[in-house]
Amino acid sequence: GDVDHIVVYIGPGGRCVEAGGSGVITFSFEGGTWDGTRMLPQRGVLVDTLYGVAYPLQSRNLNPAEERRIRLEVAAYCLAQVGKPYNLNFLNPDTDEAFYCSQLAYKAYLPHQINLNSGRMMPTLPATEAIIFPQEIWDVCAHEKARE
């Protein structure tokens, strides 16, 4: 698909958490502008382009207090994972010992009965339904493509 990496925005001011080659880290994009090259010193090896924003909580009929509670708990979960290594075993998304990018978001939202794994990305390959693909999160959530 078009989406090959995700980060979790935890705010404020462009603060994000991601799982990449350096493990789980925090970084910020400043001034509301995504600039992969400028963020390189914070992110290690990742230089990417913003494809868009997915909204896992949109269209769930949550009241504002419930939505705020979930957002804070998702952010707290992601921040608690900072420092953990990258998960090279994509077939084991249930571990809390290491994370790949989309697994981090999956695990953060799962306690709130929001399952970001549709299991439909590669139906012809056995056991791949366990993998949470970045494209899958884009596909199962309300989303908005970035302006070019």
Q: Predicted confidence band at 124 (pLDDT cuts at 50, 70, 90)?
A: low
**Continuous segment of H or E residues that includes residue 16:** strand 15-20
Q: Is residue 4 within 8 Å of 100, Cβ to Cβ?
A: no
Cβ count within 10 A of residue 78: 24
The H or E element spanning position 72 is helix 64-80
Considering only residues 125 and 35, tell me which one the structure prediction assigns the higher pLDDT.
35
- Cα separation, 47 vs 51, in Å, equals 13
Whether the pTM exceeds 0.95: the reply is no
